[in-house]
Amino acid sequence: KNQVEQSPQSLIILEGKNCTLQCNYTVSPFSNLRWYKQDTGRGPVSLTIMTFSENTKSNGRYTATLDADTKQSSLHITASQLSDSASYICVVSAWQAGTALIFGKGTTLSVSS
Amino acid sequence: NAGVTQTPKFQVLKTGQSMTLQCAQDMNHNSMYWYRQDPGMGLRLIYYSASEGTTDKGEVPNGYNVSRLNKREFSLRLESAAPSQTSVYFCASTPAIAGGNQPQHFGDGTRLSIL
C-alpha cells in the first residue's frame, strides 16, 4: 500500500534555531516528492519538488533532501522565523494514470520567540 | 494574481441539505481537483478533472458530485449532506494532470460544518 509517514507529528523550536522534518514513503513506482507549507486557515503552498535524480533542492531557508534508495526525505529549515509556524506536508507522486499524489499527515511546527 | 478562488469560505448546513462549493482558477490550468482535509489525516482526493469535459473519481467520492463547467471552474456538490462530510474542502489546479513535476496550486478552502 502506498503510504507517506511524517515525523515528528509536532515540533516547537525557538526563533533563530534550525530544525529538520522527516518523511518516509512506500510509494511505487516513484515519480517525485513534494514539500508543501500550510499556514493556519490557508491552502498548502509548494516549497520544493524533487525527482528521482535530485538529492537536494533549496528554496530560501528551506532545503529538502531525497534518498530514493532508502525512500526518505527531509526538510531542513535554517534560522527559523515566527512566520515558519505552519504545517509542513510531504507528498509523493507515483507514476499512474490520473492523479496519484499520496499526502502525509503533516508536521506542525511552532516557532516561539 | 488571484490563483485559485473558492466560495464560500465558511458554511453551516443541516443534515440532508444540499449545497455546491465553487472553485475558479485564473491560471489557464487544464487539471483541477477537489480534496477534503480532516484532523489527523492527510488530504484525500474526492474528484478530479484532467481536462475540460472530463471528471473522474478519487479516493473518497461517495456522497459527492462534480461539474467541470468550463476550463476555469470546477464545482463540488453535496446532494444530501451528512455529518461525516464535515471537513475543510480544498480545490487545486495544475497545468496538466498531477504526476508530472508541476506543483498544485491550492485555494484557501471552504470550511463546512454539517449539523
Residue B88: per-residue pLDDT: 97
Q: A62 Cβ partners below 8 Å, 6+ apart?
A: A35, A47, A48, A75, A76, A77, A78
Closest-CA residue in chain B for A9?
B40
**Residue B99 confidence (pLDDT):** 56
pLDDT for the residue numbered B15: 97
Whole-number pLDDT of residue A96:
63
* Predicted pLDDT of residue B105: 94
A98·B40 Cβ contact <8 A: no
Q: What is the pLDDT of residue B97?
A: 74
pLDDT tens across B23-39, in order? 999 999 999 999 999 99
Task: Assign A6 to helix, strand or coil.
Answer: strand
A95 CB within 8 Å of a chain B CB: yes
In this prediction, residue A15 carries a pLDDT of: 98
Cell readout for A72 is 526518505
Q: Give SS3 for A47.
A: strand
By CB atoms closer than 10 A (0-12, 13-18, 19+), residue B94 is buried
Please, which residues have CB within 8 angstroms of residue B62's CB and are 6 or more apart in sequence?
none
Q: How far apart are CA B38 and CA B18, in angstroms?
A: 20
Of B99, B101, B108, the CB nearest to A42: B108
pLDDT at res. A30:
85
- Identify the residue with better confidence: A103 or A28: A103
Asked if the model's pLDDT at residue B10 lies above 80, the reply is yes
Q: Does residue B102 register a pLDDT over 90?
A: no
Cell of B89: 474542502
How confident is residue B40, by pLDDT bands cut at 50, 70 and 90? Answer: confident
At residue B8, does pLDDT exceed 60? yes
Per the prediction, chain B carries an average pLDDT of 93
pLDDT at position B33, please?
Answer: 94
Q: Which of A44, A45, A99 sits opposite B48 (nearest CB)?
A: A99
pLDDT tier for residue A28 given thresholds of 50, 70 and 90: confident
Average predicted confidence (pLDDT) for chain A = 93
Which span out of A53-57, A94-98, B47-51, B63-67 was modeled with the highest average pLDDT? Answer: B63-67
- Do A77 and A65 form a contact (C-beta atoms < 8 A)? no
Checking if the pLDDT of A98 tops 60, the result is: no
Query: Which residues, 6+ apart, have CB-to-CB distance to A70 below 8 Å?
Result: none
Chain B nearest C-alpha distance from A3 (Å): 10
